[in-house]
């Protein structure tokens, strides 16, 4: 499948997920929720967001838990979906800060804006765009977060480069993503799950760390948190911009 067709398959899948969440349906079965969805969030965090934001979440972790957000910071969520991490981030950075979300899917953007309004959050902005071409100026954010989205990109080097571009000097990333153990080949990963299911397109641990370093990040680290398939893990990824 070509990169364009893969991207369109991903877009269509998440458009359908947004529609389903709007109707009050969760993204995952009870068993799947252990690996993907909202199981990695604390109950008091889920109390802060509208149900539809939780229903649309198909992440593999909680990036706000690793990003260590502070009052007044500007945060960018790549692939913001129904807005769960943007809303949580906006509360943490407070009125003097701001949280941006970027997503390529109109249905998810509409859902996220409704969720933010329902949550009474004003310091947010949702932008339509691709994470390979982030629609923000150079050095405009303090923190980049993302939740199980970078594995869906067909050009991860471009994503890493764009994250570095929009971060201010000294900025950082706090990402949740699916990452493969180094011994798994690309064919091994494809055999364990689909691209849209956040498995086939995953990088290995070394590929992730090397890709971030090549983009100019320092102190790149990948920490496995839980296994989502044989040799495939939800992980926290951190790094800093010089």
Domain containing residue 146: CATH number: 3.40.50.150
Report whether pLDDT(160) > 80.
Answer: yes
Report the C-alpha gap between 225 and 71 in whole angstroms.
27
Report whether pLDDT(187) > 80.
Answer: yes
pLDDT, tens only, 83-123: 999 999 999 999 999 999 999 999 999 999 999 999 999 99
Q: What is the pTM of this model?
A: 0.92
Report the C-alpha gap between 90 and 227 in whole angstroms.
30
pLDDT, tens only, 191-219: 999 998 899 999 999 999 999 999 999 99
| Residue 38 structural domain | 3-241
Domain count, the chain: 1
Of residues 61, 34, 122, the one with CA closest to residue 86: 122
Between strands 124-128 and 217-229, the pairing is unpaired
């Amino acid at each position: 499948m070509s990169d364009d067709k893969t991207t369109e398959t991903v877009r269509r899948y998440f458009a359908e997920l947004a529609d389903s969440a709007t109707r009050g349906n969760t993204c995952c079965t009870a068993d799947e929720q252990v690996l993907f969805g909202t199981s990695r969030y604390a109950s008091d965090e889920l109390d802060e967001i509208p149900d539809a934001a939780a229903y649309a979440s198909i992440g593999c972790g909680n990036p706000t838990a690793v990003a260590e957000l502070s009052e007044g910071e500007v945060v960018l969520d790549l692939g913001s979906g129904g807005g769960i991490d943007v809303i949580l981030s906006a509360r943490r950075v407070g009125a003097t800060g701001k949280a941006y979300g970027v997503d390529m899917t109109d249905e998810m953007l509409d859902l996220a804006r409704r969720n933010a309004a329902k949550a009474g959050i004003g310091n947010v902005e949702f932008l339509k765009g691709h994470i390979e071409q982030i629609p923000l100026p150079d050095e405009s954010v303090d923190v980049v977060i993302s939740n199980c989205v970078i594995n869906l990109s067909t050009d991860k080097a471009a994503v890493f480069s764009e994250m570095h571009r929009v971060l201010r000097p000294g900025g950082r990333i706090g990402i949740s993503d699916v990452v493969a153990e180094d011994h798994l080949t690309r064919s091994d990963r494809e055999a364990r799950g689909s691209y849209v299911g956040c498995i086939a397109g995953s990088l290995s641990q070394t590929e992730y760390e090397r890709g971030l370093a090549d983009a100019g990040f320092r102190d790149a680290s990948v920490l496995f948190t839980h296994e989502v398939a044989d040799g495939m893990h939800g992980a926290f990824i951190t790094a800093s911009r010089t």
